[in-house]
Amino acid sequence: MVPSDMLDPPTLRGHAPDSRLGRRTEVSRAFGFLVHDVSRLIKRRFERRARQLGLPITRQQAAVVLNIAGNEGVSQAEVAAWLDIEPIALVRMLDKLHEEGLVERRAHPTDRRIRTLWLTNAAHPVVARILAINEAIRQEAFVGLPPATRDVLTDVLSHIKRNLALKEEVACDRLSVGSTTAVASASGD
């Protein structure tokens, strides 16, 4: 949720201050709320489906497995960054996935500090089941939408993601330049 969605959603302008029900309904249509709610419901659907199918994996563990499947040999640090999770949280998930016999950690060929991640043979049917659950949820979510609308929605969300990722990248670059400048001036450089 971005602050502008919270403070002044366009759909709230003109509402009387005492029309609380109207405000609640209009706020729930604000972009950030909608995206968050859709994400939350998709996560919930995945967790329920996985339990029903006896899949020994959480939604977040499934995201780790799918990221490794698409990039075998990737480092733990890269997966943590892609999924925006703390490295220690990833280590706990990897421990569990290793116990389940789904993931292997191997030494990096040239840098002994880095551990690379690989799927085991047992993980491949699990990946297929995760993808099947994801497809079923996608079908449920898109019921009643024509294929062209589905494509447009996906394209629009991809575009929004790229825009926001670029803004984040620029903000991070500014922070790192600012902290480097602060360190340099503090050290007398």
92, part of any domain: no
188, part of any domain: no
Torsions phi, psi for 105 (to 5 deg): -105, 130
75, part of any domain: no
Closest CA to 67 of 127, 9, 110, 153: 127
CA 63 to CA 12: how far, in whole Å?
36
The H or E element that residue 186 is part of is helix 147-186
- List residues bridging with 119 in a β-sheet: 103
151, part of any domain: yes
160, part of any domain: yes
Number of domains comprising the chain: 1
Q: Which domain holds residue 163?
A: 146-180
Q: In this predicted model, what pLDDT tens digit does every residue of 8-31 receive, in sequence order?
A: 444 444 445 555 555 556 665 788
The two structure tokens encoding residue 120: 């085991």
112, part of any domain: no
Please tell me which residue, 20 or 109, carries the higher pLDDT value: 109
**Axis crossing angle, helix 76-83 with helix 87-99, rounded to the nearest 10:** 110
14, part of any domain: no
103, part of any domain: no
pTM to 2 decimals?
0.71
Q: In this predicted model, what pLDDT tens digit does every residue of 33-71 receive, in sequence order?
A: 999 999 999 999 999 999 999 998 899 999 999 999 999
